[in-house]
Amino acid sequence: MSTVTTPDSASDQVPAQDWVPTMLALAAIWGCSFLFISVGVRELPPLYLALGRVVAGAVVLLAILVVKREPLPRDPRLWAHSFVVGAIGSAIPWTLFGYGEERIPSLLAGIWNGITPLIVLPIAVLLFRTEKFSAQRGFGLLIGFLGMLVVLGAWRVQSGADLLGQGLCMLAAFFYGLAIPYQKRFLAGTTLSGTALSTTLLLCATVQLAIVAPLVTGQAPPAPWSLSPKVLLSVLALGALGSGFAFVLNMRNIRLIGASRSSMVTYLMPVFSILVGVIVLHEHITWYQPVGGLIVLGGVAVSQGLFKNLGGSARRRPLPQ
């Protein structure tokens, strides 16, 4: 998270070629994360896959801090809040997605990740009071809820493993939705750079998973040389790319076009998760899953006022002479 924001008026003046390629790269990296999770859980327990991810991400961000000569925070209260966000924003959801993808295709997990903004809204309104509710947002939530039913195929009888897998991914998205307003409520005012704060969160998640993983799995971490190259590369990609390099790209976009417009990457991620799932893993998809995903994203767009904002931007744009 960054404390740097860009006013809408300023972000409108940034040429699209300066930020669209970066947004597409982010969507590709984060959308492909579900592919890497699917490959990783073939040989690694989900808890150890999540541990490898946070370790690799923390190493990358620590290296960036060393190059930039930035310190880690010293405030105990900030570390305490970071410990909470590290758990609910990284350790728990990344583990849940791993357990979920043991049961369902990666592309379906990517679709469920798209419901996160729908979960953020009611939690931010009711629990943390960082957002205000409106009829438009309520209508967007209703659309999103109907989309979730379509993704589930609520009219069909599905296997227990499929429902459990989807439920785990839905729960992972819930924790994402809990972490975002918590972070906004308790960490948004810090003077730390986004790099230092994210490094702190990953270090906290590393400690948590390093303690919990052996206790829950009942086994020591597997030796890296005992894993196949595909699994090792998947762990490194999840951490170094998804939790390290992608963060740097996201920070660049936030500084260029602001946090609100940068969040539109959420709409593109499921596209990439579906494409790589079908092309690389040869996963099968039924018609109602992407349709439901589009309905969910439509609900997100309505709840965030995206259509209204786009219309307002079009009206403000001067006509060609």
Mean pLDDT throughout 167-189?
Answer: 87
DSSP string, 235-259: HHIIIIIIIIIHHHHHHHHHHHH-H
> Taking a C-beta distance cutoff of 8 angstroms, is the pair 240, 54 a contact?
no
Q: Tokens representing 278?
A: 């079908």
Predicted pLDDT at 6: 41
Q: Which helix (H) or strand (E) holds 314?
A: helix 306-316
Question: Which residues make Cβ contacts (< 8 Å) with residue 69, sequence separation at least 6?
Answer: none
Least reliable range by pLDDT among 122-126, 202-206, 276-280: 122-126
- The pLDDT > 90 percentage for the chain reads 41
pLDDT at 136 over 60: yes
Q: Is the dihedral of CA 259, 247, 198, 85 positive or negative?
A: positive
First vs last Cα of the chain: how many Å apart? 41
pTM of the model as a whole: 0.84
Q: CA of 182: how far to CAs of 73, 83, 151, 208, 243, in Å? A: 18, 12, 28, 18, 19
pLDDT at 321 over 50: no
pLDDT tens-digit map of 63-106: 999 999 999 999 999 999 999 999 999 999 999 999 999 999 99
- The pLDDT > 70 percentage for the chain reads 86
Predicted pLDDT at 263: 67
Predicted pLDDT at 319: 41
> Taking a C-beta distance cutoff of 8 angstroms, is the pair 102, 192 a contact?
no
Mean pLDDT throughout 295-311?
Answer: 72
Q: Is the dihedral of CA 85, 86, 87, 91 positive or negative?
A: positive
Mean pLDDT throughout 158-176?
Answer: 84
pLDDT tens-digit map of 25-39: 998 999 999 999 999
